[in-house]
Amino acid sequence: MTTRRTVLLAGASVLPLAWSRTARADCRSTLLTQDAQAAACPILSLYGQDAQARRLAAALTLEQLRSLPQTGIRTSLPANFQMRESVHWQGPTLAEVLRSQDLRCDSGVYAESLSGYGALVPATDLSRFDPILAWLRNGKPMSVRGNGPLLVIYPFDDHPALREDIHYLQRTVWQVRSLTAL
Ligand SMILES: Nc1nc2c(c(=O)[nH]1)N[C@H]1C(S)=C(S)[C@@H](COP(=O)(O)O)O[C@H]1N2
Ligand SMILES: [Mo]
């Protein structure tokens, strides 16, 4: 199975821009729906380290995530996942997300899910594999039920060795709600 990794221009317009003017009045159901209004509600908390404390640096909306430089990865996931067919994932790289907020990453980035499950993506992974924070699967946003809205995706098909190491499965966090630069 071949894998293609492509860097796309920022701002692939999937959701109507008109929604950018929508007030943030009703963001309660953001994580439960994938309607267009959700594009204007924060779905990702970003934390940085301030001395010993964990500091909220930003809360990004889907609109902000999609306006970052985008990377595409075509890959299947290891057999453990329900999603075995090769699909196209798109989103900014984790490194790009941190960079967008000037967050320094020394040891890695901790990705935490809605359920509280989390995994540390080591800084060495960012330079070697450049995993992405996918918000599109085959061009479509993902619902929470579909393991969205955000997933950490490694280029498994480009690096078959990743499949052999349980750590990369554990770092494939789905339903991501926050990233902490460590
Ligand atoms: N949000 C979330 N992501 C997660 C997990 C989880 O429990 N919640 N489990 C991790 C682990 S340990 C593995 S092996 C893979 C596959 O998990 P699954 O077998 O439960 O699908 O997803 C990873 N990502
Ligand atoms: Mo696991």
Torsion 20-23-28-33 (CA) sign: negative
Dist. CA 182–CA 108, nearest whole Å: 5
Query: Is residue 15's pLDDT more than 70?
Result: no
The ligand placed nearest to the CA atom of residue 177 is 1
Ligand 2 centroid – CA 81 distance (Å): 10
Q: Of all protein residues, whose CA lies closest to atom 8 belonging to ligand 1? A: 117
Task: Using pLDDT thresholds of 50, 70 and 90, give the confidence band for residue 23.
Answer: very low
When pLDDT is cut at 50, 70 and 90, the band that residue 19 belongs to is: very low
Q: Encode pLDDT of 137-168 as tens digits.
A: 999 999 999 999 999 999 999 999 999 999 99
**Residue 131 reports pLDDT greater than 90:** yes
The pLDDT tens digits of the residues spanning 28-81 come to: 555 545 555 567 899 999 999 877 778 999 999 999 999 999 999 999 998 878
- Ligand 1 neighbours, Cβ below 6 Å, are 80-81, 113, 115, 117, 169-170, 172-175
54 by Cβ neighbours in 10 Å (0-12 / 13-18 / 19+) ranks as middle
pTM of the model: 0.86
